[in-house]
Amino acid sequence: MSQPIHILQLYPRDMNIYGDYGNVLTVMRRLEWYGYDPIVSEYNVGDDFPDDVDIIIGGGGQDSGQTVIQDDLIAIGPRLKTLAENGTPMLMVCGLYQLFGHSFETTSGAIIPGIGIFDATTKAGPQRLIGNIVTHSEQFGDIVGYENHSGETTLQSATPLATVIKGAGNNSTGTTEGAIAYNVIGTYLHGSLLPKNPQIADFLIETAVTKRYGSFTAEPLDDTLADTARQVAMERPR
Amino acid sequence: MPHPFLILFGKSIRAAAALRGGGSALPGLFVERIDPTFITTVLSQLPRGVVLISGTNGKTTTTKMVVSLLESQGLKVFTNRTGSNFTRGVAAALLSSINLKGELKADIAVLELDEAHAVKFAEVVKPTHSLFLNVMRDQLDRFGEIDATATMLSKVADATTDSIIVNREDPRLYKVAQGRSLPVHYFGLAPDLRAHFPSDDELRGGAAATAPNVPADVTLDAYQGNTASFMINGSPYTTTLAISGVYNVFNAAAALAVVSAVMKEDFDAKKSIEKLATVTPAFGRGEQLLIGGQPFEIILVKNPSGFRLALQSYPPEGVATMIAINDNYADGRDMSWLWDVDFGSLQAGGVSAVSGIRAHDMALRLQYDNITTAAIEPDLNRALRHFIADAPDTPKRLYCTYTAMLSLRKELSSITTVERIS
């Protein structure tokens, strides 16, 4: 029996830098390998927002990309917020993580409003925070990736996704990385994030499948390659 | 003029560095420190000035073609052909070419510089002509964002004195070319070839921007097998080529446009085309070796668009494939870029070996395109030896990042004749 799961890629046209497609591909393939039928669709500025969404994945963009999407994001913000409150799993990396907070303040002092799913704000910083990063989360264990951002995010009441072991994370002064609210994960980690952190991919998948079909039962996948790639990545210099 | 003693001393450091087997930029560093005006002074002697070549992909091959084509027009050309594409590398190359009086016996310089170094260079030496090939995501960990990279090239254009030569099909570069008092020469593609060259925005999900409706001095109109057809200033030319890969052939259009812009009314298109037919690939850019009687091809990959174009250009049937990925500074430290490449074309034949510091990242990437990897061996030399021994009767192809290429070429030179990069 066919069991479709709908994956929605948020703004791939304007927010797709740094291999964010790798996250979509990872969720898609793992669903296939677990025996489900992933259906990937895109949402770009001006599109009709689909009714049927199980997982939403969004990426980073350049400043120009953020400018293009900001009005549209505010328009669909209530939809996204309702989905989040209803438990729909989402992953927002870098640029969209920032705009899932309350606001982003640019270097010139202009405020780009966000949709406030995370109780957090971001301000453009003086330097780019760039390099390999390792963090640790109670829920997901060690998380490994690569960060490249000038925005400095301050969490208000938002729960951090992880604590930084090596690298910068949300900002250049604190030790938190990312945020998690409902089943929505926000993070600065590229790499791509999900291939080398399959535990997070499986969280998105299990949550989505359980929500739609009541339970998730599947044989674990062989993640030997991911494990070794993680080990190598953790030992690389900043 | 630089002091003769400085020149002599710089030259001897260069000779010493060459004996040690490398360090092509070291003597340049030395001269730069002692006489910061060295490059400006020497290059300002050239009657036809300086051609600067920049962009993400294809600089080295294009520079090689521009040099050959300008020579076909009767010019004596100075170039930094070491691929050491920063100002220090230019200083080092100049040192070995000038005499002790500081004279450079050349009509024109053709210099390859990456975007960041091109900006620094243009602050010191005003290029006569600048060629901008493309702006793709590459080493974003160094340059930040691709829009920032385009801004760098815009500054280079500001400093250029005679004309800029621009890829019409690249939307960011097209923008850079707008609103300038300086003459702009375009090179481009016939409409049905555009699908082979996705811009950075089209690479993943983005809409294809309609190409601007401006005339180009040179267009690549057709490419089949090893034959290419160009339209040059309104006249059609067809030729066979020694270079392969559709993106290299588009670089040939860029080179023709540069030479046309430099030579103006003295441009001899026929001679240029005849010369173009004989230009061979630059090292590691589709370079062909012979190992155990089988062809062995080396293809440098640096960014998603380049890797994707390479996979499109070289059919995998009947060829054993090895991929070597390092993550040193010169390679780019972020592995994200591998996830923007579609490896689907390798599905049928699989991949014989992956190697390099990030061999496991590469194998993982292939796993997610449902491609099996026969051997994962991070040690480059060991992987190479097995790759050659395991398929003695099969042609081979190696895709590798920059520092992996340097190590592997060195190892290959102990097996077969490899052109020395000095």
Which of A64, A132, A228 is nearest residue B360 as measured by Cβ atoms? A228
pLDDT digits (tens, 9 = 90+) for A49-104: 999 999 999 998 777 778 889 999 999 999 999 999 999 999 999 999 999 999 99
> A228 CB near a chain B CB, below 8 Å?
yes
pLDDT at B29: 62
Collect all residues of chain A within an 8 Å Cβ-Cβ radius of residue B378. Answer: 232
Strand partners, B298: B287, B398
pLDDT digits (tens, 9 = 90+) for B324-341: 999 998 888 999 999 989
Chain pair A-B, CB pairs under 8 angstroms: 102
H helices present in B277-379, as ranges: 304-313, 359-367
pLDDT digits (tens, 9 = 90+) for B217-269: 999 999 887 899 999 999 999 999 988 777 789 999 999 999 999 999 999 99
Q: Tokens representing A14?
A: 């304007």
pLDDT digits (tens, 9 = 90+) for B20-38: 444 455 566 655 665 667 7
pLDDT at A167: 96
Collect all residues of chain A within an 8 Å Cβ-Cβ radius of residue B334. Answer: 18, 146, 148, 190-191
DSSP, residue by residue, B73-121: TT--EEE-TTS--SHHHHHHHHHHHS-TT-----SEEEEE--HHHHHHH
SS3 B362: helix
Q: What are phi and psi of B188, to 5 degrees?
A: -155, -170
pLDDT digits (tens, 9 = 90+) for B191-214: 888 877 766 666 554 445 556 778
pLDDT at A115: 97
More confident residue, B13 or B291: B291
SS3 B267: coil
Nearest CA in chain B to A17: B137
Element (H, E) at B352: strand B351-355
Q: What are phi and psi of A69, to 5 degrees?
A: -90, -15
The answer to whether A185 and A202 have CB atoms below 8 angstroms apart is no
> A16 CB near a chain B CB, below 8 Å?
yes
Q: Tokens representing B206?
A: 């983005």
Q: Tokens representing B366?
A: 């292939």
Q: How far apart are CA B92 and CA B28, in angstroms?
A: 4
Residue from B52, B43, B103, B110 nearest B80 by CA: B110
What pTM does this model have? Answer: 0.77
Q: How far apart are CA B320 and CA B294, in angstroms?
A: 11
Contact state of B334 with A64 under an 8 Å Cβ cutoff: no
